[in-house]
Structure 1
């Protein structure tokens, strides 16, 4: 007998490749097998060829010795396996690499042709013992698709082709002859089987015929039932969607719950539209809660974590937002006429009367939920100090009949957390309307006499009068004036829709009064923010928010918040958020963040004003974006989430999967691969073929050239209207054709040439055949561009969307040719410009409008561009600088339905009730009505904040041999003094009082000061460290003309990372030193025409990074540090 009893030995990693090894062994052994034989080939595999024994390696070695071929299932696990390495080493020592057959099961195999060996860095599936084993490049078999999710496995036609390759090799037979023999044996086996079956079939016919009739009848009944249930399910989903859309303005909570249920039942354009519109109709809604009763008073802690509600029945309810808990401090009694709460939510005070509009008769004070004993003659109004230690209230004054009248005597309750002590303060002359704490020791008292308001600033130690502001007019028909929580401003609704906003800091409120705006109507509530920068009024169930302007200026615009049928209570919180209540519901609004729109990624003026509209190219993973413009020879590269763009020279062509990108140099004509920091990774010359396409007579610009990388072929296509060149990246060879190319399809199969400016038709060509497949006569100046495999022709006000070959019209869209339009074919989405401040998202196939999406109104201009990520879940928007706008920038919209559901469920805080389901559908109640399904309604812990933008994208993958930057690690929670709640809180300090007088404007988010950010963009390492940290960004400055002002980023910094940050700062040439227990770093670049100062202060768990440009306030960074860390 021959010593070689096996045709092949299969070497593999059992942890991952057992299914494939088993399938290959059986298939190769049976391939072209005569029907009378057990197998045609013997294959050694450990599980089937070895019995239990005590000599494992000896048995394996025997199998290796008796085998002609070794078949390696190459995977990363096999490359790391000791057993696989030992088997390969034995084979190389005793036989030859010429009889090792490579089967690529997973991972990568790369042959380095220059070195004539495998590339060790890229060949993740190859054991190192084989790197130099081959004299020339071997041919290997690719089976990486075998275990793909949803794949066919052994039923895939490709599997039999690969089995034939292996069987022919190990048997030493001709592959075609072996395939023919396999077919003959298969047919012979089928003939034998048919002969045997024929007899049995006759016997079964009678029984089967009888059964068929019954089965058909039952099957038809089942199909009809299934169709009916399916139709009912779809109809119910669409009913829920339609109802949700009808409720978005009057019952936003129910609208969102119905939209969630509709989408879960049927994911189509209609239910997606309902889900998206439930968010975009009221995008600033942060949270909601329902309760029994009707709200007559409302207050919230400074951070918005605790909300106190008073009802007409006398109940005082405390809502703990983090825990979703509603606690009754008092369940009934007289109607609640006023409520106040300390900054931390621990002290609550409420005033009570016969009804919400009558004089109060008593007050109650609670500390940590326990009732505090107070004076029996105390009445409202009532207010709690920021610390909760002090309560100021009025004292009872009665008429001769015993009825209480508005108090004019003010008193104080001190020591609330200990032994409370009540004492009078003094009297005021007039009707006491409201009181506010300016700080812990000072109050502002608002009184009225006839139709005039007076605001008195007094101390609570001796009730001394510090200042008084009078002459604030209040029309008698409007009694819903509001005093800011800080006492610095008063809002008074006026006839006709104006809202007067008076400052209490001067002596005459009528001087310098500002005005907000709302529609004319009956106002039911009003509120003004701490600084008077925003005012809100409620009317007919809607809330109107505006930023007051000088009285002689143009009437300001207002933002409309809907979602309720009635609003009776409004209050601004210390963090700038807005509370509203009406009936049995409280809503919390955050007007500074949109839940689907990220903060601005960058605010540099990224492109020349003469360059035309930007074009946005998003990489496959949605983590990076490159912005170009047709008239430029450079681009701006953004790593999303980092916020510091890089300017890159060259004409963008296409992305690679690893996050690098192809560019062509317009001068040399070379193709280069660049990384996100602009460094060169590789370079290829296009030679004479490139010269014929990249014309010499004029310098090429971005709009003249297009590119497409074909990853399977490792080929790059570069096209212009002069022709198309193909670059084989492996060999460096180039070939050129005369195909006119202004855009390439996603697969690179088709090219479109557009010379409509000269009256010529649009030409569509097949790249492979070098033939014209369509000539499309179109009007002059028609633009054409491929969006994946769709050809989009914008012909005036109409856009036609065609198949890639130009032959069939897929859709016709009404369009604004002056504004951008992008299509995501795979996700059936169209994004188009709708109006100033708005864009529209539609379904391409159905034309259904999914919803309007927000744009930055201040930045919206004709110079706007946007692009989808490959999965359609991110839309990256580029705002280019415009003389009438604040500056350029980049923002990201999250379009993933999972994010929509997250926002919906986070804001409503509950699931749909059975009663709400039955009322809407009339159908049986399903088992799961939780928001998001499967019990996913956020509970007491970890409730996501819908105002938070999506997590910033990760930086691109590092190059081989490099480690990931430490800044990409998730920071641990530091022991820090904490961040200010917002930029207003940061700069609410006398040290910054001159900012407004200099004409500076406050901006929150990565600020619009172009020059400082452009200068700081060179500090790439610093930007990368700041990106993942919890932080706020604030700017004070003049945003038009020459930049002037300040920009500050405050971030929480773990103590263990301080040394790392200091090292990076100093590596950027900024020297650091220890000063008063803090690390202070500063670099000043001063010239006659320009001043730029960069500074960093690190201490107490906070990192303060500041930029000062063209302003002489060199103490700015120290002021910020003192305001945050204490002087």
Structure 2
């Protein structure tokens, strides 16, 4: 192959320079899209593996048009370089011998037409006298010293151009210009390529961003849709299945925080108001051997002292009895090894220490609950030849001490039932024989009460003698006795026509009756005034006339068994599909009794966030506590408060009070400062003339955060008053158009309602001064006739309900206003502590209805009904609670915090995840477990 140039150099010294020179010669003035037009030989890159190296070099020398010698003392001393030069001298023209100096000295002596060999050390002596004229040579020593081997470096580029010009057969200037032009074209093309790539990258990134946004939007829509669907389903099933309603509400909130999810949480809280714990969910299946009309057995039992709950269900694959400690909430299991087919009974002793369980027809196991050990097995007759194995044990009861256990049962070869009484400590039979007994109970004297058709008999365990009790009564042929009061006072029975009756056995008369279907009922041992019953899937408390008083909750399937503690507080029920729930009936009472030193609701006057009681010429000041407890007295003032005329405010720490007493003369008012802890006045009273303090609202005066300044609505506008000197000044230029004033709990935010300009002005107390931070217009034509203005505890939101019932909620930081419809009436609305809920109490007869609004969009978020035994006279805000005080001295506390609702519902559930078919709402969505700690 023909070569344009052969580079000869010292490998020891100039390997990198030779490589750079080769690259420069090939690429100078080369069109960027073409291969190199100059072919250069350099042994390192051009020779293939060959055992005869010299012959290969000679072949390349013969084919090369130019010889480029990298001159240096090391190259001049190299044997191989001298051989290459000798061959060129002997065979090729010297005018094509080019020199590039790498190091050393080259000096041309014009007078001798040769190099000055006394001073030249970079050439081998064999070149002495071989040049007919001064050869072409360039100096690469500066480039080598700086290792600047780029064609964009001036010195190196100039040297390469000088050497390349004869190779190209062109002038150096022409070659240089061509290289510059090619470089510019390359730069232009490269920039264009970069621009295209950048544009494509921008388009790709933009497409990715759009796709990601669309994906997020689609995912967000899916979350919103799932949240709304689960919320709607939760509200729909709340009355029939509170457990599932709670699960769906929690997952609705976890999927997306919507107003629908808030409403579902509120509804779930209402539906689970009396639930202490959902211990087991339903299976949503039917029994394999009873068909669709029946179900597996589920049984519950509660000890008389209310400390222990036991339950089992054939839907439980572990086939164990669960023992739940009601006081601590802990649970453990008894490995019983199996349950009977049909209706195996379950009983607990009064103290919850012993458990009796029918593990097979007519076989009763006694367990030590605390030690979780089986004590013994009792045999009730011979069950091997029973015509119907599900008959088995008919009724059973423990004596109060747990010593005696009685049961009626069927046995083979005998038509009538049998009755046996055992000593539970030893297993010995105290009494056994044929009996028509249908229901059993022990009284407090350890005597057994046994109901036979038409009569009640008593068995004394000491004398083993039977006696009659009460008056006999007629008994229907198809009557089944469900429950017997332990002192023999009453019983509950149901006949084949699904009529349930409550009988007073002492008087021999019927007390109550219901024909609305078979009522599964039981009687608390210590409360003869109430009946606990289940009608279908609804669990309720009934009076002695069998009229439903309070519905505690419900199941999706009919109740299978029901149990109640002796005092009637704890109620457990198990449904046909295996669900088990524990209810707290105390929550269904009319309210907790106030302490004896706390006034009743009828004696208290609601005054904003305070409650006042006037006693003679003094006024007691009460307030709610942050933990939702009953009212606490802050102090007593020696002044007589007149509702509708006077005003009063208390500092945030509850230590100081400002009392504004409307004067006898028109347009006068007296203001005084008091120490609430001592009841003593601080300083003197101040009388204001011509500044009529407005008492249109009961909360007409407000302490600011420094506990020194107060704001009062005067005739000419709002006044800022220093309680140390009673100096006053107008607030801004608000004027007399201010119709209402409100402040946050912390006193840091003040809000003024201007009914002339229809604006809400927000002021902040910072650095000892009031500063207006926001003025928001609102569209209302009813605020001038009365308005309820309230500020969230930390001043981040403001709510206005005008006289037309329209609701306006202002976000102070953003100025955004959302509108809704709150309706007319009700007490002063209050915010929850986190300002996510607005709550307005309203009275409907003897009950209070709490209505909720989602403050993010002013949409309704549900309502609760607070039951009271008599008129609920006052609603008192207290932290995240509303305390309703009744005139009979009872109170009901309601928590109004969304996170607290979520926590409460999670605490009720055995599992937070909704069962099928509700998983369809969650399919394909990554939704966090709402109850994960």
Structure 1 residues 148-547: aligned runs within 5 Å = 208-290=198-280, 294-295=296-297, 297-302=299-304, 303-309=306-312, 317-321=321-325, 322-351=329-358, 361-367=362-368, 368-377=372-381, 379-394=393-408, 402=413, 404-407=415-418, 410-414=419-423, 416-417=424-425, 419-424=426-431, 431-439=436-444, 441-448=446-453, 452=454, 454-465=455-466, 468-472=469-473, 479=480, 481-484=482-485, 488-492=489-493, 500-504=501-505, 506=506, 508-510=507-509, 513-515=510-512, 520-523=515-518, 525-530=520-525, 531-547=527-543
Structure 1 residues 818-897: aligned runs within 5 Å = 821-822=829-830, 826-833=835-842, 835-836=844-845, 837=847, 838-844=849-855, 846=857, 848-861=859-872, 863-867=873-877, 869=879, 873-879=880-886, 881=887, 887-888=888-889, 890-897=891-898
Alpha-carbon distance in 1 for matches of 2:895, 2:344: 43
In 2 relative to 1, CA 497–899 (structure 1 residues): closer, same or farther, beyond 3 Å?
Answer: farther
Aligned to 1:817: 825
SS at match of 1:470: coil
Aligned to 1:658: 653
Alpha-carbon distance in 2 for matches of 1:773, 1:274: 32
1:301 Cα deviation from its structure 2 partner: 2.0
Alpha-carbon distance in 1 for matches of 2:596, 2:201: 72
SS at match of 1:411: strand
SS at match of 2:244: helix
Aligned to 1:693: 691
Match of 1:733 among 685, 709, 727: 727
Alpha-carbon distance in 2 for matches of 1:804, 1:578: 45
Note if contact 1:566-1:582 (Cα within 8 Å) is conserved in structure 2: yes
Note if contact 1:393-1:411 (Cα within 8 Å) is conserved in structure 2: yes
Note if contact 1:443-1:487 (Cα within 8 Å) is conserved in structure 2: no
Alpha-carbon distance in 1 for matches of 2:903, 2:909: 10
1:573 Cα deviation from its structure 2 partner: 1.6
In 2 relative to 1, CA 856–784 (structure 1 residues): closer, same or farther, beyond 3 Å?
Answer: same
Alpha-carbon distance in 2 for matches of 1:273, 1:572: 32
Aligned to 2:75: none
1:278 Cα deviation from its structure 2 partner: 1.4
1:590 Cα deviation from its structure 2 partner: 0.9
Structure 1 residues 627-776: aligned runs within 5 Å = 627=612, 634=619, 636-638=621-623, 640=625, 641=629, 645=633, 648=637, 649=639, 653-666=648-661, 669-675=670-676, 677=677, 679-680=679-680, 683=682, 685=684, 687=686, 690-693=688-691, 706-711=700-705, 715-721=709-715, 724-729=718-723, 732-735=726-729, 739=736, 743-746=740-743, 751-752=752-753
Match of 2:556 among 526, 539, 564: 564
1:694 Cα deviation from its structure 2 partner: 5.7
Alpha-carbon distance in 2 for matches of 1:224, 1:485: 69
TM-score by length of structure 2 reads 0.62
Deviations 1:674-710 (A, max 9, x none): 44x5645x7355645x344367xxxx97957711233
1:424 Cα deviation from its structure 2 partner: 1.6
Note if contact 1:436-1:443 (Cα within 8 Å) is conserved in structure 2: yes
Structure 1 residues 1091-1106: aligned runs within 5 Å = none
Aligned to 2:788: 785
1:524 Cα deviation from its structure 2 partner: 5.1
Note if contact 1:241-1:262 (Cα within 8 Å) is conserved in structure 2: yes
Note if contact 1:819-1:832 (Cα within 8 Å) is conserved in structure 2: yes
Note if contact 1:670-1:686 (Cα within 8 Å) is conserved in structure 2: yes
Deviations 1:170-217 (A, max 9, x none): xxxxxxxxxxxxxxxxxxxxxxxxxxxxxxx99986764453233222
How many aligned positions are there? 669
SS at match of 2:253: helix
Note if contact 1:481-1:493 (Cα within 8 Å) is conserved in structure 2: yes
Note if contact 1:317-1:330 (Cα within 8 Å) is conserved in structure 2: no
Deviations 1:54-79 (A, max 9, x none): xxxxxxxxxxxxxxxxxxxxxxxxxx
TM-score by length of structure 1 reads 0.52
1:348 Cα deviation from its structure 2 partner: 2.1
Alpha-carbon distance in 2 for matches of 1:578, 1:852: 26
SS at match of 1:272: helix
Note if contact 2:439-2:482 (Cα within 8 Å) is conserved in structure 1: no
Alpha-carbon distance in 2 for matches of 1:726, 1:714: 10
Note if contact 2:438-2:480 (Cα within 8 Å) is conserved in structure 1: no
1:841 Cα deviation from its structure 2 partner: 2.0
Q: Where do 5+ consecutive residues of structure 2 fail to align?
A: 1-190, 288-295, 383-392, 664-668, 764-769, 792-796
Match of 1:580 among 562, 573, 581: 573
Q: RMSD value over aligned CA atoms?
A: 4.7
In 2 relative to 1, CA 707–262 (structure 1 residues): closer, same or farther, beyond 3 Å?
Answer: same
In 2 relative to 1, CA 721–694 (structure 1 residues): closer, same or farther, beyond 3 Å?
Answer: closer
Note if contact 1:704-1:720 (Cα within 8 Å) is conserved in structure 2: no
Note if contact 2:718-2:730 (Cα within 8 Å) is conserved in structure 1: yes
Aligned to 1:589: 583
Alpha-carbon distance in 2 for matches of 1:685, 1:734: 15
1:270 Cα deviation from its structure 2 partner: 1.3
Alpha-carbon distance in 1 for matches of 2:776, 2:630: 45
1:744 Cα deviation from its structure 2 partner: 0.7
1:816 Cα deviation from its structure 2 partner: 4.1
Alpha-carbon distance in 1 for matches of 2:630, 2:868: 23
Alpha-carbon distance in 1 for matches of 2:727, 2:202: 65
Note if contact 1:616-1:876 (Cα within 8 Å) is conserved in structure 2: no
Note if contact 2:481-2:491 (Cα within 8 Å) is conserved in structure 1: no
Alpha-carbon distance in 1 for matches of 2:715, 2:674: 23
1:259 Cα deviation from its structure 2 partner: 1.8
More RCO (CA 8 Å, sep 6+): 2
Alpha-carbon distance in 2 for matches of 1:764, 1:232: 37
Alpha-carbon distance in 1 for matches of 2:659, 2:593: 32
Aligned to 1:1013: none
1:344 Cα deviation from its structure 2 partner: 3.3
In 2 relative to 1, CA 719–793 (structure 1 residues): closer, same or farther, beyond 3 Å?
Answer: same
Alpha-carbon distance in 2 for matches of 1:234, 1:524: 42
In 2 relative to 1, CA 221–334 (structure 1 residues): closer, same or farther, beyond 3 Å?
Answer: closer
Alpha-carbon distance in 2 for matches of 1:256, 1:775: 37
1:241 Cα deviation from its structure 2 partner: 2.1
Note if contact 1:313-1:333 (Cα within 8 Å) is conserved in structure 2: no
